[in-house]
Amino acid sequence: MPFTYKRVIRFGDTDAAGVVYFANMLSICHEAYEASLVAANINLKLFFSNPASAIPIVSTHIDFFRPLFCGDEVNITLQSQQLSSDKFEIVYQAFGINEQLIAKAITRHVCIDPSLRIKQELSEEILLWLQN
């Protein structure tokens, strides 16, 4: 079952045309990712500062179907999928209050040893998160 994150678009999320700037939508998707980790009882401070493991985003893609404006409410669903022993992806879908699809994004993450910068297997903690 996908995780859902509720968010109101802020003025700072928008560009000069008054719509959400594409990079800010990816940042909002990352907020949803972080919220899903918290919901799985993962300590964010330890997760993002782990000296033995890092999980950077190595690829991203986003499509917009409708504009988002300051004050709009959005529900972002995310569904994760393990791709290999060291890689997973997350598919995000942003829906407006009328349940219309506004945007869809994908991020791909690879687990690495942060000091050696080489790939390593995903931790048990993230594997459990992927299963839920």
97: confidence class by pLDDT, cuts 50, 70, 90 = confident
CATH number of the domain to which 113 belongs: 3.10.129.10
Residue 129 has pLDDT above 90, yes or no: yes
What phi and psi, each to the nearest 5 degrees, are found at residue 47? Answer: -60, -45
Mean pLDDT, range 43-50, rounded to an integer: 96
Structural domains of the chain, count:
1
Which active-site residues does the annotation give? 15
**What is the mean pLDDT of the segment spanning 7-27?**
97
pTM for this one? Answer: 0.94
The 10s digit of each residue's pLDDT in 48-95 is: 999 999 999 999 999 999 999 999 999 999 999 999 999 999 999 999
Grade residue 44 by pLDDT with cuts at 50, 70 and 90: very high
Q: What is the mean pLDDT of the chain?
A: 96
Look at residue 6 and tell me whether its pLDDT is greater than 70. yes
pLDDT of residue 35: 98
Full domain range(s) for residue 69: 3-131
**DSSP string covering the chain, please?**
--EEEEEEPPGGGB-TTSBB-HHHHHHHHHHHHHHHHHHTT--HHHHHT-TT-B--EEEEEEEESS--BTT-EEEEEEEEEEEETTEEEEEEEEEETT--EEEEEEEEEE-EETTTTEE-PPPHHHHHHHH-
**The predicted structure's pLDDT at residue 85:** 98
Question: What's the confidence (pLDDT) of residue 1?
Answer: 67
Instruction: Identify the bridge partners of residue 56 per DSSP, sorted by sequence position.
Output: none
